[in-house]
Amino acid sequence: MTTSFDIEVFVRFAETDAAGHINNTSYFLYLEEARTKFFYEVGIGKTNKPSIINFILASTKCDYVSQAFAGQILKVTTTVTNIGTKSFTVDHVITTDMDQVVARATATLVCFNYAEQRTEPIPDLIRNNLEKNFTKING
């Protein structure tokens, strides 16, 4: 059973700041890329047509642990840590190719009906995929 989803990100020079390390705002782009690719794995947004029901980002937080620089390849690991009725939470860990932790982040995503402008319960198909394949096992 898979308990996490990983992507690699190549750090471009444009994503760094005057100090030469990755700018703090760039990490949120990496996290968004990881979540978007993760969504496809669990069946969210797989079609090209707009969906009435989708997930919106309700909260996100990032703690910076160490520096990273242009030219590095980083790994972003995404793990589901909580599934509620209408939302779920993921933890992200960003590491270097030497397994050094660069940042730790968390995000809460809410199932949202755009036509009615209200939250909805997570569809069973997506909930089952989250539970069976990507939920961190405690213990």
The pLDDT tens digits of the residues spanning 49-70 come to 667 788 999 999 999 999 999 9
Confidence category of residue 78, pLDDT binned at 50, 70, 90: very high
Pull the structure tokens for residue 69.
């620089």
Q: Which one-letter amino acid corresponds to residue 22?
A: I
pTM over cut 0.85: yes
pLDDT number for residue 43: 81
- All domains in the chain, ordered by first residue: 5-134 (3.10.129.10)
Q: Tell me the two tokens of residue 53.
A: 């029901």
Averaged confidence pLDDT in the chain: 91
What is the Cβ-side half-sphere exposure of residue 44, based on CA atoms within 13 angstroms?
Answer: 22
**Closest to 56 in 3D by CA, of 66, 72, 45, 48:** 45
Alpha helices in the chain (DSSP H): 24-42, 124-129
Give the CA angle between residues 25, 27, 33 to the nearest 5°: 120
pLDDT score at 51:
73
Q: If you average pLDDT over residues 108-134, what whole number do you get?
A: 91
